[in-house]
Structure 1
Amino acid sequence: MLKIVVLVSGGGTNLQAIIDQIDEGKITNTEIAGVISNNKNAYALTRAKNHGINHVCVSPKDYATRDEFNQEFLKTMDDMNPDLVILAGFLVVIPPQMIQKYENRIINIHPSLIPSFAGKGFYGLKVHEKALERGVKVVGATVHFVDEGTDTGPIILQKAVEVKQGDTPEVLQQRVMEEAEWVILPRAIDLIANGKVKIKDGKVWIQE
């Protein structure tokens, strides 16, 4: 059984997709060990509470230094003892020591087709604003392993989404979530839970 911990800063729509697809049997061999947020008001924590899932807030605002926060964050993670960590809209930089300790065991969902509209400063609605500014015709989402760069780790899955004329950033964001994020993040978890994902020479190989 793959034990996962989901990290989330906001509403938790990707968390809900994971919960629903575990309940529906689409994600197999997986259980949620916990949910961690940096935001005590995150609706994701309410979603976790409603499903009886262990949940906690660890916020940098509550610590005098970033190092103290990082230590508490890592301790909280270790106490949950996950096999896989999922960043599902988590707006805090993951400490290097956590990336090293959980090497190739942290994955992230990013709302673009990496390497487009990725890297420092590209998160949330900003990704969709920049895509519309550039006038691209196709956007999408990417699930990738987390390394010490920003959106630079090995890509697991990607799914394209069409941009429609008249799209606003908010409308495009919703379509990317519904058509891509909520599809490929649960799929990636299921593949990992069933031993079908390998990393070789910095690239992901999927055994179907």
Structure 2
Amino acid sequence: MSSSRPRRLVVLISGSGSNLQALIDALNTSELPNTSIVLVVSNRKAAYGLQRAASAVPAIPTYYQALQPFLKQNPDKSRADYDREVARVVRRANPDVVVLAGWMHVFGDGFLEEMETADDGSGDGAPAPKRIPVINLHPALPGAFDGTHAIDRAYDAFQRGEITHSGVMVHHVVKEVDRGEPVLIRVVNMHHGEDKDAFEKRVHETEWKVIVEATRKVLDKIHPPPLQ
């Protein structure tokens, strides 16, 4: 059932935020209609993506919290506590979908559990009924080059003659790193004689398209835009 209420995104970043910028540019266009980014979360204080959020029109609220400072400030807390704290910040923004767009921190079970159900704030311990989908952008095809440095590893594998193409996917986030059900997959062919920088540029250009298309696909399924 369609609704006139704007669809709400929370985006998590760690770096330059070029994928965040792709989402910002698509807001309230035919690519991502009736949608707003209500919060950008970073685990790196110097992430340029925070400036992108602040420069958006209207400006997008931001939140910064890194693991090590959190543990230093809270010596009785653990990595799992950090994950849950980030999850609670995300939940308070009441998103329809959470997008990990270059988020360089592997969440444990606690984050995903908070997205599945959480205290609704009423004080009676009743679980909130809303499950929040969490999706992640990864510059590789399903089952290939999970984890970090996927572009570098794909390029090196091509040079060794082991693969002829790589790709980009957006997938649902599960406990196993980069093993969730794909939302959208796009193949990126590899060319002999192309240097790594040129290949990486083509991968990033593909990412900017895929993250918008996949986010809309997930949003449309749970919260269709109003009929025109």
Give the TM-score of the pair, scaled to structure 1: 0.84
Q: Is the 8 A contact 2:171 2:181 kept in 1?
A: yes
Which residue number in structure 2 is paired with residue 11 of structure 1?
16
Q: How far apart in 1 are the matches of 2:54 and 2:102?
A: 18
Sort the Cα spacing of 1:127 and 1:11 in 2 relative to 1 into closer, same or farther, 3 A.
farther
Which residue number in structure 1 is paired with residue 133 of structure 2?
105
Q: How far apart in 1 are the matches of 2:134 and 2:70?
A: 24
Determine helix, strand or coil for the equivalent of 2:63. Answer: strand
User: Which of 62, 74, 88 is 2:101 aligned to?
Assistant: 88
Determine helix, strand or coil for the equivalent of 1:149. Answer: coil
Tell me if 1:188 matches 2:206.
no
Per mean C-alpha deviation after superposition, the further-off stretch among 78-87 and 163-172 is 163-172
Determine helix, strand or coil for the equivalent of 1:32. Answer: strand
Higher strand share: 1
Q: How far apart in 2 are the matches of 1:189 and 1:20?
A: 13
Sort the Cα spacing of 1:141 and 1:68 in 2 relative to 1 into closer, same or farther, 3 A.
same
Unaligned 5+ residue runs, structure 2? 1-5, 72-77, 117-131, 224-228
Once the two structures are superposed, what CA deviation does each residue of 1:65-95 show, in whole Å capped at 9, x if it has no partner?
4244223212211221211111111111113
Give the TM-score of the pair, scaled to structure 2: 0.77
Aligned partner letter, 1:74:
A
Which residue number in structure 2 is paired with residue 117 of structure 1?
145
Which residue number in structure 1 is paired with residue 74 of structure 2?
none
Q: Is the 8 A contact 1:113 1:140 kept in 2?
A: yes
1:24-173 equivalences under 5 Å are 24-51=29-56, 52-64=59-71, 65-103=78-116, 105-118=133-146, 121-123=147-149, 125-135=151-161, 136-173=163-200
- How many pairs were matched up? 194
Task: Give the root-mean-square deviation of aligned CA atoms.
Answer: 2.0
Aligned partner letter, 1:2:
R
